[in-house]
Amino acid sequence: MPAKILVVDDEVDLESLLRQRLRKKIRAKEFELIFARSGKEALQKIKSDRTIDMVLTDLSMPEMDGLTLLNKLREIDENIKAVVISAFGDLKNIRAAMNCGAFDFITKPIDFDDLIITINKTLAYVKQIRETLFRLQQAQLQLIQHEKMAVLGQLVAGLAHEMNNPLASIKGSIFLVNDAAQKLITYLQLYQEQFPNSCNEIAEYAEDINLDHIINSLPRMLVVMGGSTDRLIAISNSLRTFSRGDTESKVLANIHDGIDSTIMILQHRMKANSKSPGIRIVKEYGDIPNIKCYLGQLNQVFMNIIVNGIDACEEDNLNRSFEEIEANPNRIVVKTKLTKDKQGVVIEIQDNGTGMTEEVKSRMFEQLFTTKPVGKGTGFGLSISRRIVEEIHGGSLNCTSVLGKGTEFAIAIPIGE
């Protein structure tokens, strides 16, 4: 990928001259030159293109001079380095430029051999700074993530354990109560058959409590209680699966269990309400083997992507009526399959939400980048997900998105030993 150099100068002839003298570097894709005629135009280009590596700027320009531009650059990104072009012997302005943060300077008339040396030196410095910053960010992110997952894992595992004991007791009690209730009902029915003409007091009380309704509804209530208890047990098991502490080494794990546990935990976000008929989950699971992985970390990837899908569907619903949503319902489709070479598994997670613009797609894996409102998004989710998939598991994480149509993430993970 060529280094992007923004050249800021109001001299029209300079552009063609630079392209001519640097043509070998440009053809070899070492340099990519971008031009601006003023400091004001340069700032607009830098704000719209955050991949610019360095700035080569004249000091004397209309609208905004080079010194002002240098001060503005530091406010936008301290890692973009600037080299100033100044008249030979103009030490006052050169000193002022260096005080404003210029990395180096060259003088007019331009010595192009010196220019190339200066550009290469500047780009090497920028690369070193960015690599160092990236490593620091990754280290910091890893520490934050490990601490967060450790605390979350302990909390969730403890919660699941605490839930399981009373739930097991309730489940066993419901079974015993249901058995006892059936026996009491049978006993009562036999009593009614043998003694149909009970005293007035018993008959009146039976009518007051609606005995027939109790006999019919009590078994159904116990069935509902049993079903609810089963659901709580399933949630508890999902919490344990989601947060399993396998950070020391990879273990063989069932990817489908991880996906199911994630969906179970997020079920409350997908339920129908007065504004929406809910989000439908479609699971198209293929025949895939267990894979050697850190399932707890992959579960976090599934969580991040599915939450983004839910958010995209909710955003898409803002300008649609309940009837419109019902006619074209929200859905998140999760597919699994083997890779073509059968050496890995692919997990595809697709939503039919808002989709993404080209700008958002180009930046979605950047740390701290988020389109969500303050308090809802951290800007770490997808950058963490890419690191977990690509660096920790040696896989790949790719995304395709069409604005207004939806987004699909494809996660590929090697099966392992």
Could you tell me the CATH number of the domain that includes residue 310?
3.30.565.10
The β-bridge partners of 399 are 409
In a domain, 331, yes or no: yes
Question: Does 270 share its domain with 393?
Answer: yes
Q: What is the pLDDT of residues 357-415, one digit of tens each?
A: 888 888 877 766 666 654 455 556 788 888 889 988 899 999 999 998 899 999 999 99
Query: Is there a domain that residue 210 lies in?
Result: yes
Residue 161, pLDDT > 80, answer no
Within-domain flag for 272: yes
Same domain for 367 and 386, yes or no, is yes
Q: Is residue 188 part of a domain?
A: yes
Is residue 203 helix, strand or coil?
helix
Query: Within this chain, do residues 259 and 398 fall inside the same structural domain, yes or no?
Result: yes
Q: Does any domain span residue 335?
A: yes
pLDDT in tens, 356-367: 888 888 887 776
Whether residues 101 and 194 share a domain: the answer is: no
Whether 263 and 408 share a structural domain = yes
Residues in the chain: 417
The model's confidence at residue 144, banded by pLDDT at 50, 70 and 90, is: low
Phi, psi of 87, deg, nearest 5: -65, 145
pTM: 0.51
DSSP string, 81-136: EEEEEEETT-HHHHHHHHHTT--EEEEESP-HHHHHHHHHHHHHHHHHHHHHHHHH
Are 155 and 216 in a shared domain?
Answer: yes
Q: Give me the pLDDT at residue 286, please.
A: 94
Tokens coding 351: 């939503």
Q: Residue 374: its pLDDT value, please? A: 47
Judged by DSSP in three states, 405 sits in: coil
Give pLDDT tens digits for 8-40. Answer: 888 878 888 888 888 888 888 888 888 888 888
Residue 31 tokens read as: 């340099």
- Alpha-carbon gap, residue 247 to 142, rounded angstroms: 12
Q: 143 and 39: one domain?
A: no
Judge contact between 45 and 36, C-beta under 8 A: yes
Half-sphere exposure of 367 (CA within 13 A, CB side): 12
Burial of 114 (0-12, 13-18, 19+ CB in 10 A): exposed
Same domain? 403 vs 298: yes
Using the 3D structure, point to which of 195, 223, 243 is the last residue of a domain. Answer: 243
For residues 367 and 264, membership in a common domain is answered with yes
Spatial contact of 263 and 306, defined as CB atoms under 8 Å apart:
yes
pLDDT for residue 288 is more than 90 = yes
Q: Can you tell me the distance from the alpha carbon of 272 to that of 252, in angstroms, rounded to the nearest whole number? A: 36
Q: What is the pLDDT of residues 248-260, one digit of tens each?
A: 678 888 999 889 8
Cβ of 355: how many Cβ atoms within 10 Å? 19
Helical H segments across 195-246, by residue range: 200-208, 211-242
The total number of structural domains that make up the chain:
3
What CATH number did the domain enclosing 22 receive?
Answer: 3.40.50.2300
Range of the domain at 331: 250-417
Domain final residue pick, 110, 126, 155: 110
What's the pLDDT score for residue 350?
95
